[in-house]
Structure 1
Amino acid sequence: MEQFKGAAKTLYIWTQSALVQASTDKLKEAIGGEVILENINRLTFATYGESTFDLIVVENAQLTDAYDKLLRLLQPNGKLYLATIFGTPEMFQQELKLSGFINVTINKEDGTLTAQKPNYETGSAVKLSFGKHSTQKTTSIWKVNGDGDEELIDEDDLLDEEDKKKPDPESLRVCGTTGKRKACKNCSCGLAEELESEAAQKAKTDTANAKSSCGSCYLGDAFRCSTCPYLGMPAFKPGEKVELAGNLLNDDI
């Protein structure tokens, strides 16, 4: 215990009452400071303030979920000394490291174990300075080159007036079954009738819009070419208004 000489305030956690007095006297003689006693079974109920002790000595190292509390009770750089270890020292060494202790060492001669609290309070925080780089250096990373001649597209030119027009709500209506603007087999929502009406309206195309390559369309099928838009229709007088079905009209003629 001579390595702890000079500790001003020590917490001694005991398990066997028969050894308390002798152990306390031995501690006071070795370190020369104040020694406070606490039973291991009462440790969880202790109300000591954080960073109270320079040294904590544990008579029995079989503590359950108590290492984090011991860490808080110690002052920064304070020491924890496990006097009696029941089990593998390496197991306790791992537990102490996971609890936040540093410099965890095992004395192979007597099986005791010593650990240290880091030189800062538990829960301390420090602001990191990742952003303390010059603005000029940061912005230059993203520049393609240094001549400043890069041409950027004007975002207003990406859309024309046609793109900005609000669509007709009727044109957006789709069938709940197909998920498309296509009526299902047993359509009952009215989409089928709407599509038939649109098709009929489109089919009423004036013959004035149809162009003939041979000029003989009005004479009948015997005089019509294979791509004639009037195939299958009766002959008619030149200039007579004839309506073609939408599936007969070829826009390329």
Structure 2
Amino acid sequence: MNRPPNEPARAGGPYVVELREVTRTYGGVRALRGVDLLVEQGELVAVAGPSGSGKSTMLHLIGTLDRPTTGTVRIAGHDVPGLSDRELSALRARHLGFVFQQFHLAPGVAALDNVADGLLYAGVPLRARRERAAAALERVGLGHRLGHRPHQLSGGEQQRVAVARAVAGDPPLLLADEPTGNLDSAAGTEVLAVLRDLHASGTTILVITHDAEIAAWCPRQVRVRDGRIAGDDGPGSGRRPPGAVPATAKGASR
């Protein structure tokens, strides 16, 4: 089987995300207690719950930033617990995109290169990185801001640059952790509109949020409480279009 260097073998299966009987324990504290979650390609899913519910732990496991104590975690068909650190890095580089509450843009660096630098670990040559970065910025409505530096962009535009960086490598899965948390209402609405358009184009998106309004906007809601799944509309239900973008979308800064 031909695959890029360090790319782990794929186990197969129809799910972008597959968690089965997953637990995670930290120092005797059980953060997750037998979680089952299946996400199909093309879904837009909210993972919602209050602080301490376990949703951030789920994000770390799905994002391959942590390993489960017990249970099965497969991302894009790859069995995460059995991978080496190098294989995990390759999996993240080629299959996952991350958007966080903080923008994490390099100050003094143009939007084009902030996005292009996100492709370094995928082994993409410089010219191709910049071509993909320009296309990604165009995709999020910032084709006219390629040369602008972070201080020249609004908060909403900076978060859209962060989204462009996350999708420049065309990952099958985008993880958005409180993506409107540092934004005002108008900018938050702007970012959700970008996520809606990415979902419409086929990107699988998980939005981690404590905001009930944003969770309700997503076609599928996975509700987490006390380390367990308290409610879930089920795999495939997140393929339908999302609701209207909330007019007052805000995140954790409220």
Q: Which has the larger radius of gyration?
A: 1
Regarding TM over 0.5, the answer is: no
TM-score normalised according to structure 1 size: 0.23
TM-score normalised according to structure 2 size: 0.23
Q: Which has the higher strand share?
A: 2
